[in-house]
Amino acid sequence: MTYVAGFVVAVPEAKRQAYVTMAEAGVSLFREYGVQRQVEAWDDDVQEGKVTDFRRAVKATPEEKIVFSWHEYLSKTAADEANRKIMSDPRMAEIGKDMPFDGQRMIWGGFEGTLEKGQRGKSRYIDGSLVPTPGGSRAAYAAYAEGVADILMEHGAARVVDAWSDNVPDGKVTDFRRSVNAEPGEAIVFSWVEWPSKAVRDAAWQKIFADPRMRRDNAPFVPIMDTQ
């Protein structure tokens, strides 16, 4: 099962190209150290939440956009080894010396894959979510997510992934736990849905929300923040 290094960061809208340039500069380095896939998704439809949302998660200012990003590894061992090497590589320091965003407000962490459906490919549109759920609910969450993933794939999703928090360090300004107001003992699920296009995604969600199988009565969590 894939191991995921997940990131959420606020980037000034005026620095979008600078961010893309920085991300592209790191691709070959990350691949060299074991990253099998790197995806960067730029804010398009980030909804305001009642309790929290992506913008509040990283304390975004009005002129900033949200980037939902991840690296996929073959295993946790591969991810740990890659991180050890990358952080000591002078090329990484060079890439990061002029970051077009506030690194203190970037949230990041490691997540163990619990569900994967579909095939890896070129992502055209991403729906991302962060979900707090009781730490002892992993099996229940996986069973629930399996059913939801089947519905998403039925309506046109290309790939669905759910990953369970494994290494989500505390941050000085914010972090994954604070991003969803996690309570003691709760785990964080980093999840996304890949679509072949925004048009397919928009049409699909209208049908999905109307699907009676999507009732959340038995969900092992309280939905707090979703949609990227």
CB distance 142 to 114 below 8 Å: yes
Contacts of 18 (CB under 8 A, 6+ apart): 100
- Confidence label for 220 from pLDDT (cuts 50, 70 and 90): low
pLDDT of 121 reads 86
| CATH number of the structural domain spanning residue 105 | 3.30.70.100
Overall number of domains in the chain: 1
pLDDT tens figures, 85-113: 988 999 998 888 889 999 999 999 999 99
pLDDT tens figures, 50-73: 999 999 999 999 999 999 999 999
* Gap between the Cα atoms of 205 and 42, Å rounded: 19
* Gap between the Cα atoms of 20 and 42, Å rounded: 10
Q: Domain range holding 32? A: 3-226
pLDDT of 212 reads 84
Half-sphere exposure of 126 (CA within 13 A, CB side): 21
154-161 mean pLDDT: 96
How would DSSP label each residue in 172-190? SS--HHHHTTPPTTEEEEE
Give the length of the chain: 228
7-25 mean pLDDT: 97
